[in-house]
């Protein structure tokens, strides 16, 4: 069974295969009945706009259908049912489960109890592999992935999209420049894993120091919901912002990405600049998630 829990579950060859297939799906007509008769279970125990709707849209475009459970409160988990039991039961109803859950490790646990493939749509501060595939896909529309300089800006401690992306980029010999508020640095375990694997990870105090050397600037919001209390959030809130002024003199081909939602970390005036690709990026969620669904169910 092909679960996709962490981006580490895919090697570089498999990632390239998914991206190539997404490129084909985007460029040519696809079989609108490829997943006819298949049912996708969307279990989202945390808020989501893009991930949930684009998985549902991708499934429908391939002729399949989706059913969903949107909160713990609306499910039998409120009666005390464990995630393991819930997953065992839902496994009997659908052909693939897409799970988003506030606890790191929840998707891995689910995969141990599921009789059908599980795709992790975000597990706490852990991983978000489908986001990473669409991030890579977006970068690939503008440049080769190999050897690029990528700035990771923002909450790199709790940001699961940054964790998955950093690992994936290391497979393509990227140089990673990390810029985060104090206390929100990339987890030291992940930074040492990347460095041990030969990836250059360079920490910067200020985005200004490095922005002119970047091919890609990946901006993330502060993950307020993961903070122990609001006082510690407000200590770091609004501590960085990408503005048109910051982007003067950057490389012509710079691509600015953001997994969205944004709060205040990208000035809306940046939206009009040629570097801004974050809305295109979210649209690429469709071909990329179609390719993922075909991989696990096709």
Q: 81 vs 77, 84, 157, CA distance in Å?
A: 4, 8, 31
Nearer to ligand NCD, 21 or 161 (CB): 161
Q: In the annotation, is 36 catalytic?
A: no
CB of 52 to ligand NCD, least distance (A): 9
- CB contact burial 146-180 (16+ within 10 A = b; e otherwise): eebbbbbbbbbbbbbbbbbbbbbbbbbebbbbbbb
| Nearest position to ligand NCD, beta carbon | 259
Q: Kindly tell me which of 41 and 122 has the beta carbon lying closer to ligand NCD.
A: 122
Question: Are 292 and 14 a contacting pair, CB within 8 Å?
Answer: no
> Which is catalytic among the residues 13, 28, 29, 79?
79
Specify whether the CB–CB gap between 298 and 95 falls below 8 A.
no
CB of 160 to ligand NCD, least distance (A): 5
Please give the order of strands across the beta sheet that includes 96-101. Answer: 65-69, 39-44, 96-101, 118-123
Residue 206 Cβ vs ligand NCD, minimum distance, rounded to whole Å: 22
Residue 233 C-beta: closest distance to ligand NCD, Å? 14
Active-site residue flag, 100: yes
Q: How many beta carbons lie within 10 A of that of residue 13, not counting itself? A: 8
Nearer to ligand NCD, 30 or 154 (CB): 154
The residue from 3, 50, 61, 163 that is catalytic is 50
Nearer to ligand NCD, 81 or 225 (CB): 225
Q: 116: number of CA atoms within 13 Å, CB side?
A: 21
- The span from the CA of 193 to the CA of 261, in Å, is 28
Catalytic position from the list 3, 30, 38, 51: 51
Q: What are φ and ψ of residue 277, in 5° steps?
A: -125, 10
Reply yes or no on whether 128 is catalytic: yes
Q: Which positions touch ligand NCD (CB under 6 A)?
A: 50-51, 122, 128, 131, 160-161, 220-221, 259-260
Nearer to ligand NCD, 95 or 123 (CB): 123
Tell the smallest beta-carbon distance from residue 281 to ligand NCD (Å). Answer: 9
Do 19 and 179 touch, CB atoms closer than 8 A? no
Cβ proximity to ligand NCD: between 204 and 226 the closer is 226
Contacts of 164 (CB under 8 A, 6+ apart): 6, 7, 127, 128, 129, 131, 132
- Min CB(165)–ligand NCD separation in Å: 11
Q: Nearest Cα to 293, choosing from 94, 89, 12, 27?
A: 94
**Partners of 201 in beta bridges:** 176
Instruction: Catalogue the active-site residues.
Output: 50-51, 79, 100, 128
């Amino acid at each position: 069974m092909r679960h996709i829990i962490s981006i580490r579950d895919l090697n570089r060859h498999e990632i390239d295969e998914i991206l190539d297939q997404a490129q084909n799906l985007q460029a040519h007509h696809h079989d609108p009945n490829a997943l006819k008769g298949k049912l996708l279970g969307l279990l989202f125990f945390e808020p989501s706009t893009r991930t949930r709707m684009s998985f549902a849209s991708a499934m429908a475009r391939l002729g399949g259908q989706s059913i969903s459970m949107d909160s713990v409160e609306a499910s039998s988990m409120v009666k005390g049912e464990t995630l393991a039991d819930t997953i065992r039961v839902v496994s009997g109803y659908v052909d693939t489960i897409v799970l988003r859950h506030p606890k790191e490790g929840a998707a891995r646990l689910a995969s141990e109890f599921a009789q059908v493939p599980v795709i992790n749509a975000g597990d706490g501060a852990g991983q978000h592999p489908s986001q990473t595939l669409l991030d890579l896909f977006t970068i690939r529309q503008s440049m080769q992935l190999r050897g690029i300089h990528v700035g990771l800006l923002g909450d790199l401690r709790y940001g699961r999209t940054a964790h998955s992306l950093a690992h994936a980029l290391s497979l393509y010999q990227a140089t990673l420049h990390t810029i985060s508020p104090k206390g929100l640095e990339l987890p030291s375990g992940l930074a040492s894993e990347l460095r041990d694997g030969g990836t250059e990870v360079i920490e910067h105090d200020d985005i200004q120091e490095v922005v002119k050397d970047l091919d890609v600037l990946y901006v993330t919001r502060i993950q307020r919901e993961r903070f122990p209390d609001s006082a510690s959030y407000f200590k770091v809130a609004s501590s960085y912002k990408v503005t048109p002024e910051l982007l003067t003199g950057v490389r012509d081909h710079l691509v600015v990405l953001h997994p969205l939602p944004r709060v205040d970390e990208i000035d809306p005036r940046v939206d009009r600049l040629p570097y801004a690709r974050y809305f295109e990026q979210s649209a690429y969620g469709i071909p990329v998630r179609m390719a993922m669904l075909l991989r696990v169910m096709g």
